[in-house]
Chains A and B, each alone.
Chain A
Amino acid sequence: MIIAEQKPLDEIKSMIADYQKVLILGCGTCVTICFAGGEKEVGALASALRMATRLDGQNKEFIEATVQRQCEYEFNEEVADLIEEADVVLSLACGIGVQTMNEQFPNKLTLPGLNTAFLGQPVEQGVWDERCQACGDCVLYLTGGICPIARCSKSLLNGPCGGSQNGKCEVNPEIDCAWQLIYDRLQALDRLDLMMEVKPAKDWSTSRDGGPRKIVREDLRLTFVEEKQS
């Protein structure tokens, strides 16, 4: 899922400085699960902002709401009245939700209350690790199910580099060396043969490097039948 964390309160305060009535809009999916932008966090942020702005001598109004998925129009439509009423929307969704809101309500500015961090997994209570960079050409079948693109600090396809030591990455002793993990897993699976092949240069055009990406599924498009007939 998408992992995010709340921006520092001071940054949020300066973003909303020019607005009186602020709708804090949470999202009920990924950011709820990672405790960054669900209903609970909307409530907590609203209280914190009420208190902070009052101490600053301001008299701002904060409205709270949370939709099920801010990255889809139909859910945001449910709170259209609240959006209309507010001077600005402070979104606690990921960057996708923020952009959906800005597209859907062009007359209202929606601000990001979170920093969208990565695609990851909760590894223990309160700890999330990155797992995928959405490179568009998954190589997990070659690497024992451990992603070298997202988890090796240099995205090496032929690791481990010379900085791998005691299972840790040269970049930081807090980071597991992805290629040590891959090696161990392939060894356990008796598939070390996969480590012996020189993997060719990756086609990064399916990754962000090819520009903004798009998937079109003609079989799912509503215009599909019409187009075929014409």
Chain B
Amino acid sequence: MKAGSNLEKVLTAGYFAATGELGPPQSADTAVIEKKAGYLKGYVDAVNITDCQTAVVRMSSMAVAVMLLRLGLEPTMQMTCRDRNRIAIQSDLLGAAALGIKNLLCLTGDHQVFGNHPTAKNVFDLDSMQLLSMVKGLRDDRRFQCGDEVKGPEPRFFIGAAANPFADPFDFRPYRLAKKAKAGADFIQTQIVFNVPKFREYMKRVVDLGVHEQCYILAGVAPIKSFGAARYMATKVPGMDVPDEIVQRMKATPKEKQAEEGIKVCVEVIQQVREIPGVAGVHIMAIEWEESVAEITAQAGLLPRPAV
């Protein structure tokens, strides 16, 4: 065991993993976190806590992760390179480990132009690849990025990374995944899969490279709430691939039935990606629709979650 988290145990025991996601509030509200946690508890093996996603100021990932621990859920803390340099990141990692956080997802981070402080100065001292190396170095070599030894307990994380099979250049994406595994990723969560054939082709190449044996690959999935949401994701979100077929399917569904249909699409995607060699689990991103996770996991036959 690298960190001994629930997620790590589930994956190493060979179960098909299911992880969820919780977006912290844009306030100091704790009630909303308790509410969202309630929607996820028992349905997933770990819950990602986003780090100011889309560069909008939100409650800190570490604080919410600790709240989740108290509520009896396992958090996966997300860490981006946008707002912190190597000093701040390592400091936060020591604190997170001390507070009992065991899963860490390493990201580059969305550019601040997307958020509510577009005039901010960004950091990007490291990129996600270098962040992975640093986290692995802290754990396996007990060394800070500068080379100094960690004198005392080292921060031990089950290390995650993101991958977008649908971004360009497509041919390079499997190699980029291999780089992330080499840099230190123990598990991968992909961008939301709607285009299953394209994902299948990507996974074929990943398996040919043997990367699925170096890290656990969780396919990202998400329910679409409405036709409008489908169209938005298809046209406005960079790096997102929503086939027209799905957009049309949502359009053809009466408005009051669209949410239900969106869940159905998500369940179908889960069932399809589950059959793809090299896929070790799913990461369900039902941000601002956490209450759908119970139904998705039930319909997809992912319950009960294994007790390991």
Contact = CB atoms under 8 A, between A and B. Distances in A.
B274 interface: no
A199 B164 contact: no
Contacts of B163: 162
Interface in A182-222: 183-184, 195-196, 198-201, 204
Interface in B141-194: 145, 162-164, 167-169, 172, 175-176, 178-179, 182-183, 191
A200 B130 contact: yes
B86 A165 contact: no
A201 B168 contact: no
Contacts of A196: 175, 178-179
Interface stretch (A63-71, A110-118, A124-132, A151-159): A151-159
Contacts of B271: none
A180 B169 CA distance: 7
A158 B127 contact: yes
Contacts of B50: none
A199 B182 CA distance: 12
A107 interface: no
Interface string A126-161: 000000000000000000000000000111111111
Interface stretch (A10-18, A91-99, A166-174): A166-174
Contact of B172 (A153, A160, A170, A201): A160
A183 B127 contact: no
A186 to B, nearest CB: 10
B253 interface: no
Given A156-B124, A201-B134, A163 B169 contact: no
A171 B113 contact: yes
B111 interface: yes
Chain A contact residues: helix, strand, loop or mixed: loop
B133 interface: yes
A101 interface: no
B108 interface: yes
Nearest to B133: A198
Contact of A165 (B81, B167, B183): B167
B239 A162 contact: yes
A162 B110 CA distance: 10
A100 interface: no
Interface string B110-126: 11010000000010111
A170 B125 CA distance: 19
Given A163-B167, A165-B167, A158 B172 contact: no
A53 interface: no
Interface string A12-53: 000000000000000000000000000000000000000000
A177 interface: yes
Contacts of B129: 157-158, 198-199
B182 A198 contact: yes
Contact of B111 (A164, A166, A171, A177): A171
13 contacts: A154-B122, A154-B127, A157-B130, A158-B127, A158-B129, A158-B130, A167-B168, A170-B239, A171-B113, A199-B130, A200-B130, A201-B125, A201-B134
Given A160-B168, A160-B176, A201-B130, 17 more contacts: A153-B111, A154-B108, A154-B127, A157-B127, A162-B108, A162-B162, A162-B163, A162-B167, A163-B238, A163-B239, A164-B167, A164-B169, A164-B239, A170-B110, A170-B111, A201-B86, A201-B125
Interface of A: 153-167, 170-172, 177, 180, 183-184, 195-196, 198-201, 204
